[in-house]
Structure 1
C-alpha cells in the first residue's frame, strides 16, 4: 500500500526517514511473520523490545543527553504506527513504556533524570504505568493506593489494575495518595520492578492482545526512598494528566497502524479471491468499502500528526489529542469490522489476521481514557466545565 508517501506522512529530516525505514524493516522481518502465532500462544515478545531498544527506538521522544532519540512526537508516532501495524502488542507496549518514562523526563530533577533515564531509555529496561485501580478507572482522582512517609522513605500499599506489562516490567511509575482526598492529595513515584512487597496477579484473560500481559499489581508495604518521588508532593495527578495527553496520541497512532494492516490484508485478499469469474476487487460495492476504509485511515493519520505537531511546537494540544484518540480508535473499529466482512467467512477464521485486528481494535476504544471520556474532554474545551449543583 502507498501509505508511507501520503501527504500527512512527509518526514521532517533525513534522519527521521532513516528511522522509519529501520522500523519498517524490523517490523517486517522480526515482528510480523510470527505475530499471529505468538498472539495465539499468549507469548510476550520481550526479545523484540530488547531488539528495538538496541536499535534506538525505545526512547525516541526523549532527550539525547539521557539516552533518548531526541526526535519530535511527529516522528515517534509514525514509528509507533509501523510497529502496531506489525503487532499491536509491540506498538502499544512501546507507547506504554514511553508513557511510563514521561513523569521522570518532564518533572524529575536533573539528578533523577541522570540517575534513571539512561537505563529506562536505552532498551535494557521496560516500564509500566500504574494509575488505574479496581475501583477507580475513569475517575482516576479517587484512587486509594496510599503512600505514607516516614522520614526519607515512603511505604506504598494498595492495588493497581489493568497494568500493561504487569509482572514483567523493570520499573513502575506509580500514582499514590500521599495526602488528603481528591486530585491534590496524589504523588508520583518511580518503583523498581523487583522491590520487596511488589507482586503481580495472574494476567487478565482478554479477547485480544493475548501476548501483552495485563494484570493487577499489588503493593504490600513497598518501601520507596523519597529520592524516587517524582515532582512535588501532592502534584502527582497533574503529572498523570500531562502524560495522558501524550499517551492518547500514542494510542491514536497504534489505532491507525492496526487499521492500515487490516486494509492491506483486505486489498490483498480481494485481488486474489475470485467469484463469478472475476476478482472480487472488481465489484463496486466492495471497492467503495475499501475507499471508505482508506479515507478514514488517512483522516486519522492527519489528525494525530496535527496534534503531534502542536505538541512539538509547544502549543496546547489536549483537545486535539482527545479528538485524535477518539476518532482514530472508533475508525479502527469500523475498518477492522469491515475487513472481516470483506473476507466473508474466511474473515471470521483465525487463518486470516483480520479477526485478530478486530479483537485488538476494541481495546483501543477503552485504554488511556474511554472514548466517552474523550468526548467529555473535547466538550469541556468547547463549552467549559459542566455545571455543579
Structure 2
C-alpha cells in the first residue's frame, strides 16, 4: 500500500533497512541463542544515523518525528524484534529528558544519545504494580540533593544512564537521571524472557542512592510524563509487532511455495490462501493505524487512546501471523534452526509488554463507554 511517505521518512526507512540487513542479520541468531545484549548494535545504530529520527536538529539529529521512529523500528524488527526493542529502549530512556529536562540537561544528554556516546534506559515498572501512579520507589531531599530507594523491574538493555520514576512522601512523582555506576545502584542477572532476548531485561535496585539536585528532571510532572512514555511505548511496540509479523508472513509464503503435500503445492490450497489473506490484511490495517497515530501525535494530538487501539490490533495481528507461520512450516516451524520460531516467541512477548490484550481492551472499553454521543 502507498502511505504517502515523504523524503525524510523514506530516508530513515531505507537507512534502517540497510542497517538491519548489513549489521543485524549476520549476528542476531547467535545473540538470541545467547540471550545477549549487543552494545555494538545499539551504538552502531547511532553511528548509522538512526537516532536522528528522534533527536531534533539543535541536538545533532535530523528530525523529532514519531513517524520516522516508527519506520526505523519496523525495519529493524523485520530482521530481529529484540534489536528493535534495544533501539526503542534507548529512546524510552531519553524521552523524559527531551520532554521534561532543562536546557542544560537536554544539551548534556541528548547529543550523547544521538552520537552513541551513551546508552539510556527507562526504569519505571515495579513488581505487582500496573499503574505507574502507584510506584513505591521513594525519593527524599537530602542536603543539596536527593536519596532514592526502591526496586525496578523490566529494565531493558544495559545502559549508561537510567531515567528512574520515583515518588516522595507528599506523593510528588518525578524522574531522575542516574548513572549505572553510582553507589547503591545494582542489577540482577538477566531475566530469561520468552522472546526479544537480544534486549536483555533486569531488575534495578536503588539502595540509599544519593544524587545531585540536577539529576532531577523538571518540566512536566512525573504522572504526565509517564502517560507520554506509555503512549510512545505502545505506538512503537506496535511497529515491532508489524515488522515481526510481516517477515514471518513472507517467510511462510516462501516456504509453502516450495512445499508439496499429497502431490500438490501447499500454496494452492484455499485454506492456506485464506490464512495468508487474513494475516496480510491485519498487518496492513495495523500499519495504517500506526502511521495515522504517529502523524496525529506529530501534529499535536494526544494519542493515548489511539496508541492503545494500535497496540491492541498490532499485537493480535502479530500473534496470529506468527502462529500461522509456525503452522505453515509444519514440523520445521517450532525448530530453533528456522526463524519463524523466533518470530513466534518475539510476538508473544511484544503482545504482552506495555499492555496485554485484556488491559488494552479494558482501557479502550472504558473510554468508549463514557463517550458523549
Query: Does the alignment reach a TM-score above 0.5?
Result: yes
Name the residue aligned to 2:104. Answer: 111
- Corresponding position: 1:99 with 2:70: no
- Cα offset, 1:81, TM superposition: 0.2
- Maintained 8 Å contact 2:54/2:65: yes
* Secondary structure of 2:271 counterpart: helix
Residue number among 349, 360, 365 corresponding to 2:335 in the alignment? 349
Per-residue CA deviation, residues 228-283 of structure 1 (Å, 9 max, x unaligned), is 211259x2122111121112111000000010111011011111212233321122
Q: Show the counterpart of 1:255.
A: 241
Residues 144-200 of structure 1: CA deviation (Å, up to 9, x unaligned): 1111111321111111011111xx21110100112334xxx2111111122121110
Preserved contact between residue 98 and residue 106 of structure 2 (Cα < 8 Å): yes
**Cα distance in structure 2, aligned partners of 1:70 and 1:85:** 23
Instruction: Check conservation: 1:177, 1:186, Cα contact below 8 A.
Output: yes
State whether structure 2 residue 57 is matched by structure 1 residue 64. Answer: yes
Deviations 1:119-155 (A, max 9, x none): 123222211111111232x122221111111132111
> What is the CA-CA distance between 1:42 and the residue it aligns to?
1.6
Provide the alpha-carbon RMSD of the alignment: 1.7
How far off is 1:316 after superposition?
Answer: 2.3
Are residue 145 (structure 1) and residue 140 (structure 2) matched?
Answer: no
1:59 deviates by 4.4
Q: 1:211 deviation in Å? A: 2.3
Distance 1:103 1:344 in 2: 45
In 1: Cα distance, 2:133 partner to 2:358 partner:
17
1:364 is matched with which residue? Answer: 350
Partner of 2:230: 244
The equivalent residue for 2:13 is: 20
1:325 has 2:320 as partner: no
Q: How many Å separate the matches in 2 of 1:25 and 1:294?
A: 23
TM-score by length of 1: 0.91
1:106 CA drift (Å):
1.0
After TM superposition, the structure 1 stretch with the greater mean CA deviation from structure 2, 248-257 or 284-293, is: 284-293
| 2:139/2:167 contact within 8 Å kept | yes
CA distance 1:159–1:59, change in 2 (3 Å): farther
CA distance in 2, matches of 1:363, 1:145: 25
* 2:265 maps to which of 279, 283, 289: 279
Q: Which is worse superposed, 283-292 or 365-374?
A: 365-374
Q: After the TM superposition, which segments of 4 or more aligned residues of structure 1 sit over 4 Å from their partners?
A: none
Summarize the Cα distance change of 1:64–1:179 in structure 2 as closer, same or farther, 3 Å threshold.
Answer: farther
Out of 288, 291, 294, the residue aligned to residue 302 of structure 1 is: 288
Change (3 A) 1:71 1:279: farther
- In 2, the alpha carbon distance for the partners of 1:72 and 1:232 equals 21
Cα separation, 1, equivalents of 2:193 and 2:251: 24
**What are structure 2's unaligned runs of at least 5 residues?**
none
Q: How does 1:206-221 map to 2 (within 5 A)?
A: 206-221=193-208
Show the counterpart of 1:7. 2
Q: Tell me how far apart the structure 2 counterparts of residues 315 and 205 of structure 1 sit (CA, whole Å).
A: 37
User: Could you say what secondary structure the match of 1:216 adopts?
Assistant: strand
User: Residue 201 of structure 1 aligns with which residue?
Assistant: 188
Q: Secondary structure at the match of 1:230?
A: coil
Shift of 1:325: 0.8
Q: Is the 8 A contact 2:16 2:72 kept in 1?
A: yes
Q: 2 CA distance for matches of 1:312 and 1:380? A: 25
Q: Using the alignment, how far apart are the partners of 1:102 and 1:259 within structure 2?
A: 27
Kindly state the Cα deviation for residue 312 of structure 1 after the two structures are TM-superposed: 0.9
Q: Decide whether the 8 Å contact of 1:57 with 1:69 is kept in 2.
A: no
CA contact (8 A) 1:56 1:123 kept: no
Q: Any idea what SS the aligned residue of 2:30 has?
A: helix
Classify the secondary structure of the residue corresponding to 1:147: strand
Name the count of aligned residue pairs: 371
Q: Which residue of 1 aligns with 2:215?
A: 228
In structure 1, list runs of 5 or more residues that go unmatched: 1-5
